[in-house]
Chain A
Amino acid sequence: MFDLRRLWGGKRGSKTQAKERLQLILIHDRSSLSPELLDLIKQRILDVLTEFVEIDEQGLAIDLEQTDDTSALITNIPIKAVRRNTRVL
């Protein structure tokens, strides 16, 4: 259908879209972590946790989840057993 608003300049210029998209893209890009860094983080978490609990290393996953306006590190750490010496703490 013929769009009158467009004729009268009611439609926003594409610049606004470009700017809004870029605002989100840059937030996203700036907060992304490289796979190497994620691996390092994973290793450090493991190092700390294995002091207290026995972890299924194969099952350990860590991911960066990003939506339009949030970033979160999501991790799932399957525990095989709590260490005997930890239980007394």
Chain B
Amino acid sequence: MGKAIVVTSGKGGVGKTTTTANIGAGLAALGQKVALVDADIGLRNLDLFMGLENRVVYHLVDVIEGRATWKKAIIRDKRLENLVLLPSAQVRDKDSVTPRQMKQLVDELKQEFDFVLLDCPAGIERGFKNAVAGADQAIVVVNPEVSSVRDADRVIGLLEAEEIKCIQLVVNRLKPSMVKRGEMLAIKDIVDLLAIDLLGIVPEDEGIVISSNRGEPIALNQTMKAGQAFCNISRRLMGDEIPFVDWQEDDSFFSRLKKLFGIS
């Protein structure tokens, strides 16, 4: 029986969908059977990040309302055969789905997959409740910004109220140079404020925009920092102990000197 993990944040645009796609791809690359569920009903996005938008036929609401079985609705990934996506509906009344129905669906998926990752919509309304209903664990994505940290704290409170015990933090869009200048919250600050376990640190990386242009998760590209960061997260989810990297550019005098002589 697999695990269901909801990826949430409260605030929009912090990187929930990016995180879901990349952790999913990372886990699948490690040989896990993974189902991604786009629970952002009304705003279908996850299919784009996976480059699967042309294959969408049935969607989540079709499955919930019995027009298609989940087996029929899932789309297999192009690159990884053990990765599938259940896309979300595009234009729909999002209140047509209830938390109970979602839980039932997620429970069925857990029979078949090692990991079920749920991409949560922004906000803390019905869509949030639906996405959380079937989840065993949660990943809270936060940006190193005041408003994002505040929303994350609210969401953590709501997840605790839903009796979700394992709530882990991903700090996304960290800019190490700003942290160094004292102009951005550091990882330790955020972890201290939110008081939950850290799962990963993802740096700001323009490679994420490039990979989303292409519809290829950056996790499959180990030459990119963000790609490595997401792979580390996937491995931690499988229980590996991977040290945290703060993605600081090493620009000390000696490292520059070493680079100059090509010995790093």
Contacts and interface: CB of A to CB of B under 8 A. Distances in A.
A40 interface: no
B193 interface: yes
A30 to B, nearest CB: 7
Given A15-B189, A30-B157, A22 B182 contact: no
A16 to B, nearest CB: 7
Interface residues of B, number: 16
B149 interface: yes
A22 B183 contact: no
Size band of the interface chain A makes with B? 10 to 19
Given A15-B184, A22-B193, A30 B153 contact: yes
B124 interface: no
Nearest to B193: A22
Contacts of A21: 146
Contacts of A14: 182-183
Contacts of B154: 29
Given A15-B189, A30-B157, A22 B181 contact: no
Nearest to A28: B150
A44 interface: no
B186 interface: yes
Given A29-B154, A30-B157, A15 B146 contact: no
B193 A23 contact: yes
Interface in B179-218: 179, 181-186, 189, 193
Contacts of B146: 18, 21-22, 25
A35 B224 CA distance: 48
A26 interface: yes
A15 B185 contact: yes
A9 B189 CA distance: 21
A84 interface: no
Contacts of B183: 13-15
A12 B183 CA distance: 9
Given A22-B146, A22-B149, A26-B150, A15 B182 contact: yes
Interface string B89-104: 0000000000000000
A29 B182 contact: no
Interface string A1-27: 000000000001111101101110110
Nearest to A12: B182
Given A26-B193, A30-B157, A19 B150 contact: no
A19 B185 contact: yes
16 contacts: A14-B183, A15-B179, A15-B185, A15-B186, A16-B182, A18-B145, A18-B146, A19-B185, A19-B189, A22-B193, A25-B146, A26-B149, A26-B150, A26-B153, A29-B150, A30-B157
Interface of A: 12-16, 18-19, 21-23, 25-26, 29-30
Interface of B: 145-146, 149-150, 153-154, 157, 179, 181-186, 189, 193
Rank and list the top 7 A-B pairs by shortest CB-CB distance, nearest first.
A13-B182, A19-B189, A13-B183, A15-B182, A14-B183, A26-B153, A18-B146
Given A18-B145, A29-B153, 10 more contacts: A12-B182, A14-B182, A15-B189, A19-B193, A22-B193, A25-B150, A26-B149, A26-B193, A29-B154, A30-B157
